[in-house]
Amino acid sequence: MKTAVIVTTYNRPDALAAVLEGYCAQRDREFELLVADDGSTEETATVVRDFVRRAGFPLLHVWQEDQGCRPAAIRNRAIASTQADYIIFTDGDCIPSRRFVGTHKALAESGFFLGANRLLLAEELTNRVLRGRIPIHDWTLFRWVQCWVRRDVNRIAPLLALPNGSFRKWAPNRWKGIKTCNLSVWRGDLIRVNGLDESNQGWALEDSDLVIRLLHAGVKHKNARFAAPVFHLWHPERDRRHLQENQQRLDDLLRSTTIRSTVGLDQHGLP
């Protein structure tokens, strides 16, 4: 199974470098990685070039012009830039645990998408990690427990590693709480639903939109929580000026049986 990891980023090169270090430390390194860049400046390109030279996996920089926050569009560009069978979505501020890629691959199953969870780092810990280039992907559970006691992280439950089992399919129609910072989908299913909907702009609920259309298409949710966590670096709250119109679009989608996005992968040469 050829696998691609799509990492979305915008003008946060220090965080992206920490994330890419986490992928260089993966136990399973049979994957390609695409940095889906929503219009960053040359500093981000420099970080990517440095990792291209030393990563033990193919690494591609997919860039689009900065025309405001367009995460759906850059993810679609990245999907169109790979021939991988299976796509793992995450963000350029989410450092993967060392088992992240291998677990997504192990849990992948035809007819299902995977949604997993994250730990949120506090601002002060995030600053220390980025300043000191601290490899938190190598931290032990004991170290994370210490952070939780100090309230440097919001929780530690996602670090528990539960085995595969029927319980992972107990909520096949779940869409709430599933985010593209930790989501994996078969490429064929993404093409079927025409990828992410680029009609969504800004802080857009585009991940919920994608998941609901996958469910409409008969692709079910499989729970990858307590198996493949990521460590989410702190950032200020996103601009939510488009939230109301995007919420209305999502509400309309929930009342429909729509499968294909209005503006999606067909804009990038895919059927």
Q: Across-strand partners of 91?
A: 8
For residues 83 and 241, give the distance between their C-alpha atoms in angstroms, rounded to a whole number.
35
The pLDDT, as a whole number, for residue 239 is: 66
Give 156-169 pLDDT, tens digit per residue: 999 988 989 999 99
Say what angle helices 42-54 and 13-24 make with each other, to 10 degrees.
Answer: 10
Give 114-159 pLDDT, tens digit per residue: 999 999 999 999 999 999 999 999 999 999 999 999 999 999 999 9
pLDDT band at 259 (very low <50, low <70, confident <90, very high): very high
The pLDDT, as a whole number, for residue 271 is: 82
Give 182-234 pLDDT, tens digit per residue: 999 999 999 999 999 998 776 668 999 999 999 999 999 999 999 999 999 99
Average pLDDT of the chain? 95
The average pLDDT across 7-13 equals 98
The structural domains of the chain, ordered by start, are 3-262 (3.90.550.10)
pLDDT of residue 64 exceeding 90: yes
Task: List C-alpha distances in Å: 116 to 44, 46, 60, 100, 190.
Answer: 27, 30, 24, 10, 18
Q: Which residue in this structure is represented by tokens 């680029």?
A: 198
Q: Which of 75-79, 195-199, 206-210, 238-242 has the lowest mean pLDDT?
A: 238-242
The pLDDT, as a whole number, for residue 101 is: 98
The pLDDT, as a whole number, for residue 200 is: 78
Say what angle helices 13-24 and 123-132 make with each other, to 10 degrees.
Answer: 70
Report the side by side order of strands in the sheet with 94-96.
94-96, 230-232, 118-120
The pLDDT, as a whole number, for residue 237 is: 76
The pLDDT, as a whole number, for residue 203 is: 67
Q: Cβ(198)–Cβ(76) under 8 Å?
A: yes
